[in-house]
Amino acid sequence: MYNAMLRKGYDDTPEDAVESMVAVHNFLNEGAWAEIVDWERRFSRGLGHGWQACRRGEEGFLEEADRIASSRDVAAPKLLRFQGRPNEMTPKARVLDFMGRMYPAKYGCEPPFDRHDWYVQRRTVDGETKEVRYVIDYYSAPPEPTGESVFYLDVRPAVDGPTAAAERMMRWGGDFWYRASGARVRETVS
């Protein structure tokens, strides 16, 4: 990792800091992969299954995760390749950056410090494979009171076609609508 940083022009990093940097790097990669697997659990069986997984929001999915996972299981996703793109902001990151400049009290935050595109092989229920690109924005936040660093990952399928756009709308829209419409309250009353 140290040699890779030198190749990229980061020559001000002390060599003894590399071990902790590798640990953080691995931690972030594991977190990104867990998020991708979570997306795949919802959508690798198709948009119909994805809607069933998303219609009750994030909490509803977590409550039903065991039942959903066991119905017509498909193979786990496989990472094909990844590409670091630290100097290219995603459209979402650009919008958030613009909103932060316009309304700093509400949206103000630093832009992502890194971006990766991960290409994943999705195996469908029919046994076919499909390549899905995920975009990952890496954000840092103020450290914890203990001094520990804080990072946030924004992992989502790239909008390379209508299916990925539908997946994103279902996941985020389903969660928003479920909470905003009071569906949980209606379910407990009936």
pLDDT digits (tens, 9 = 90+) for 78-96: 999 999 898 899 999 999 9
Residues in a beta bridge with 153: 138
Task: Give per-residue pLDDT as tens, 28-49.
Answer: 999 999 999 999 988 988 898 8
Considering the chain, what is the average pLDDT of its residues? 84
Residues in a beta bridge with 135: 117, 156
With CA atoms as reference, report the closest residue to 39 among 55, 60, 53: 53
Residue type, 127: G
Q: How many helices (H) and strands (E) does the chain have?
A: 8, 4
Q: Could you give phi then psi for residue 141, rounded to 5 degrees?
A: -130, 170
Beta strands in the chain (DSSP E): 78-84, 114-123, 129-141, 150-157
Residues in a beta bridge with 130: 122
CA 79 to chain centre: 14
Query: At CA 54, angle to CA 94 and CA 166, rounded to 5?
Result: 50
3-class secondary structure, 144:
coil
Predicted TM-score (pTM) of the model is: 0.82
CA 91 to chain centre: 15
Check residues 3 and 80 and name the one with the higher pLDDT. Answer: 80
**Sheet containing 114-123: which strands, arranged edge to edge?**
78-84, 114-123, 129-141, 150-157
